[in-house]
Amino acid sequence: MTTVSPEAVRAQGGTTEAEVRDVARRAKVASRALATANRMTKDAALRAVADALVAAADEIVTANAQDLDRGRAGGMSDGLLDRLALTPDRIGRIADALRDVAGLPDPVGEVVRGQTLPNGLRLRQVRVPMGVVGMIYEARPNVTVDAAGLALKSGNAVILRGGSAAAASNAVIVSVMRDALDASGLPADLVQSIDAYGRAGGVALMRARGLVDVLIPRGGADLIQTVVRESLVPVIETGVGNVHVYVDATADVAMAVAIVMNAKTQRVGVCNAAETLLVHEDAAPEFLPAALAALADAGVVLHGDPAAMSFAPAGADVVPATDEDWATEYLALELGVRVVPSLDAAIEHIRTWSSGHTEAIVTRDIAAADRFVAEVDSAAVMVNASTRFTDGGELGLGAEIGISTQKLHARGPMGLTELTTTKWVVTGDGHIKP
């Protein structure tokens, strides 16, 4: 299947907004074809895309190296470089996530509820695709595949604006996916990129109300808030991860150290990594010496209050904490540490500074865990588990298109169900309203 290149359209005198709207129109047409596709067709296409990505791994890694070189030259942080980087192993895991999505139940056509009214009308509320999903995101080439895979399985077309940081990687990935779809008998225009139009293309996507059904931003706070403020298209807001781990008075020390280390150091440049450690004052004398030593050995810079830093080992990289630290998503080997006098104080700190993404409590006190779960208002709450589990793949969704921190329509990791809406089907036998 051939499409007109952005350069060719510009040569004909088109504007960026007109060009992006044309992309959206083609996506709308393609989505109608997918709406009637059965699960077998969609799953086969997803597996074909997965195989094609693995086959093109060398080409993708070569393009990704260009993005990484450009990022380093531009002073990109280690955390963002980690998010940007692709290896054959990572590409293999991305492809496996697509295969996992193919193995999941198809949400389209699911009957949410139904009944027969006293007058004989038969009602069904069924799941249907959104139609066209727009994605605006930064430095995350894995999102290019995750978004496309989830959109396809849930019956949607997707328009991708992946940003300049991953431009070379995304160009190859999108080309590979489009070719695989075409070879599978589905429209290539189910997956399109508007990276060629730059920031103006993103603005045009935000204005394409009526052609794009929902827009999902994924990235830093500035990007997300810009889309929320400026978009005319309905937005599902994802959020930054100012994530907390609270170690309660009764916590098992070994368990707490293991959870904190995993939450902070397993992968730092992700939104579900811990950014603040809160410790009950009764647990501090036993827990903090071990935890802070382990964190310091891992190269973590500690931003602590005086009580916490009194337990820091000699030679640790220690910075006095300020309110700015409690508000910061570091995405790096840095961690805020605070000693609190009570569970109430921990919950109040989280209410004040959390971004509403993920919080964890480590405790052996069931009542404390129940209070924490009930009173902490975040999209995900962990009890005796690492915050790194706030992830679509880890929670059995196959993959995720983002983690919503809002409360309308979707909250937390967004998988297949969150990319559908519902339709009422009313069946009668000549019924008319009296």
Give me the DSSP letters along 55-105.
HTHHHHHHHHHHHHHHHHHTT--HHHHHHH---HHHHHHHHHHHHHHHTSP
* Contact predicate 237/409, CB 8 Å: no
Q: From 339, 261, 248, 354, select the one nearest 300 (Cα to Cα).
A: 261
* pLDDT of amino acid 197: 94
Q: Supply the angle between the helices 88-102 and 141-153 in degrees, to the nearest 10.
A: 10
Q: What's the rounded Cα separation, in Å, for the pair 313 and 42?
A: 55
* Contact predicate 304/337, CB 8 Å: yes
Which pLDDT tens digit goes with each residue over 219-244? 888 888 899 999 999 999 887 899 99
CA distances from residue 83 to 219, 270, 298, 397 in whole angstroms, order as listed:
11, 7, 19, 20
Helix (H) or strand (E) holding 304: strand 301-304
User: Any bridge partners for residue 403, and if so which?
Assistant: 413
Q: How confident is the model at residue 363 (pLDDT cuts 50, 70, 90)?
A: very high
Q: From 237, 137, 150, 234, select the one nearest 194 (Cα to Cα).
A: 137
Q: How confident is the model at residue 16 (pLDDT cuts 50, 70, 90)?
A: very high
* pLDDT of amino acid 14: 56
Q: Supply the angle between the helices 198-206 and 221-230 in degrees, to the nearest 10.
A: 50
* Contact predicate 224/397, CB 8 Å: no
* pLDDT of amino acid 432: 94
Q: What's the rounded Cα separation, in Å, for the pair 35 and 37?
A: 6
Q: What's the rounded Cα separation, in Å, for the pair 375 and 379?
A: 12
Q: Residue 313 gets which letter from DSSP?
A: P
Q: What is the mean pLDDT of the chain?
A: 93
Q: Supply the angle between the helices 141-153 and 167-183 in degrees, to the nearest 10.
A: 30
Residue with tokens 């999505």: 101
Q: What's the rounded Cα separation, in Å, for the pair 241 and 260?
A: 15
Residue with tokens 């630290």: 325
Domains and CATH numbers, the chain: 6-236+414-426 (3.40.605.10), 243-389 (3.40.309.10)
Range with lowest mean pLDDT among 29-33, 114-118, 257-261, 408-412: 408-412
CA distances from residue 380 to 217, 260, 268, 354, 412 in whole angstroms, order as listed:
19, 17, 18, 12, 6
Residues in the chain: 434
Ramachandran sector of residue 5 (left: φ over 0; alpha: ψ -120 to 50; beta: rest): beta
Could you give the 3-state DSSP secondary structure of residue 210?
A: coil
Could you give the 3-state DSSP secondary structure of residue 281?
A: coil
Range with lowest mean pLDDT among 76-80, 205-209, 265-269: 76-80
Mean pLDDT of 269-287: 96
The sign of the CA dihedral 119, 121, 124, 129 is negative
The sign of the CA dihedral 142, 143, 148, 153 is positive
Which pLDDT tens digit goes with each residue over 43-59? 999 999 999 999 999 99
User: Any bridge partners for residue 133, and if so which?
Assistant: 158, 214
* pLDDT of amino acid 240: 84
Q: What's the rounded Cα separation, in Å, for the pair 45 and 284?
A: 53
Mean pLDDT of 310-328: 95
Mean pLDDT of 113-121: 96
* pLDDT of amino acid 138: 86
* pLDDT of amino acid 11: 44
Residue 209, pLDDT > 80, answer yes
Q: pTM score, two decimals?
A: 0.83
- Identity at 427, one-letter amino acid code: T
Which pLDDT tens digit goes with each residue over 174-191? 999 999 999 999 999 999
Q: How confident is the model at residue 116 (pLDDT cuts 50, 70, 90)?
A: very high
Please, what is the end-to-end C-alpha distance for the chain in angstroms? 52
The sign of the CA dihedral 205, 225, 145, 196 is positive
Mean pLDDT of 8-34: 82
Q: Residue 53 gets which letter from DSSP?
A: H
Q: Residue 188 gets which letter from DSSP?
A: G
Ramachandran sector of residue 89 (left: φ over 0; alpha: ψ -120 to 50; beta: rest): alpha
Percent of the chain clearing pLDDT 70 (strictly above)? 97
* pLDDT of amino acid 366: 97
Q: Name the strands in the sheet holding 132-137, side by side, starting at the edge strand that comes first in the sequence.
A: 191-193, 157-161, 132-137, 214-218
